[in-house]
Amino acid sequence: MEVVFDAKEIVGKINDLVEIQLPRATFMALNKAMFETRNTFKSRSQSIFDQTVPFTRNAVLYDKPKEIKDGYEGRVYLRDDAPKGNAPASYLRPQIEGGQVFQTRFQRRLRARGFLGGSQGAYMQPQLKNGRLTAGAYTRALWGIQAFEDLRSSGKYGKRNYATAGSYMFVPKNLAQLGASDISSELTARMWNLRKLNGKIPAAGIYQVRGSSLTQRFVMLDQVPTVRRKFDFQAFAEDEVERIFSEELRKNILR
């Protein structure tokens, strides 16, 4: 039996594989790997983070691969912008790196208006029995204590109708001392109404008037809470992209 082959023809097919098919297979594999990494994060995020919302579950984005000198490169990253609210790259950073919890717009507004003592480490934490507060609840609390206005310099701590059902009031940590020093007649009046509603001056925080009593909506903490690192996004992205890329490249070449 005689076997005949054309070496030039074989070399030509190898060159075709290297010059045309392999780059295309690489591009498709890398693009698929980044796309699937995004989907994996979306499905796993609910078990990684507490009470995720759709915006968080869709936080991972990617840039399609682009050709560079020695091949292709792409980027998988956490969204770093938000049309409204806070960017996932910002509010997830403490969960990824560890450290102080993210300072939301609610916290920043309170600090900017002096309700959290300027540069001090105080923090206003929601008083939750279950679930989470809606964005509207934060806004109502801010409007209720007039945190959208510069009032601290005048000694005012909220609306004058603080005894009206449904209204909000801010109780500073040192309310008793301020009232005792007669810093403002409004503080004295507030102390009287707080005692009348609760029988004693309540702990620092933000309250809502409910009938003849107060319901605490936010608790003032002395320090900004810290969290431990719970998710290594860098390692997750690298492992997922590498795993899926290898599988897809092999499939694309063998097709």
From first to last of the 255 residues of the chain, give the pLDDT tens digit. 333 334 445 345 556 656 667 788 888 889 999 999 999 999 999 888 887 889 999 999 999 989 888 788 889 999 999 887 789 999 999 999 999 999 888 998 888 888 887 556 789 998 877 667 777 888 888 888 877 554 344 444 444 444 455 688 888 877 666 655 555 566 666 666 676 666 777 788 888 877 667 788 999 998 889 999 999 999 999 999 999 998 988 887 766
Q: What is the pTM of this model?
A: 0.69
Q: Provide the 3-class DSSP secondary structure of residue 7.
A: helix
Task: Please report the pLDDT score of residue 151 as a whole number.
Answer: 39
Task: Please report the pLDDT score of residue 233 as a whole number.
Answer: 93
Task: Please report the pLDDT score of residue 177 as a whole number.
Answer: 63
Q: Provide the 3-class DSSP secondary structure of residue 171.
A: strand
Q: How big is the CA angle at 226 (ends 113 and 130), to the nearest 5 degrees?
A: 80
Burial profile 61-95: b = 16 or more Cβ within 10 angstroms, e = fewer: bbeebeeeeeeeebebebbeeeeeeebbbbbbbbb
The residue with tokens 């030509």 is 12
**Which residues are 66's β-sheet partners?**
73
Domain coordinates in residue numbering, the chain: 7-86+229-254, 104-223
Query: Cβ of 117: how many Cβ atoms within 10 Å?
Result: 16
Task: Please report the pLDDT score of residue 115 as a whole number.
Answer: 83
Q: How many helices (DSSP H) and strands (DSSP E) are in the chain? A: 10, 8
Q: How big is the CA angle at 119 (ends 116 and 122), to the nearest 5 degrees?
A: 40
Query: Cβ of 214: how many Cβ atoms within 10 Å?
Result: 21
Query: Cβ of 60: how many Cβ atoms within 10 Å?
Result: 23
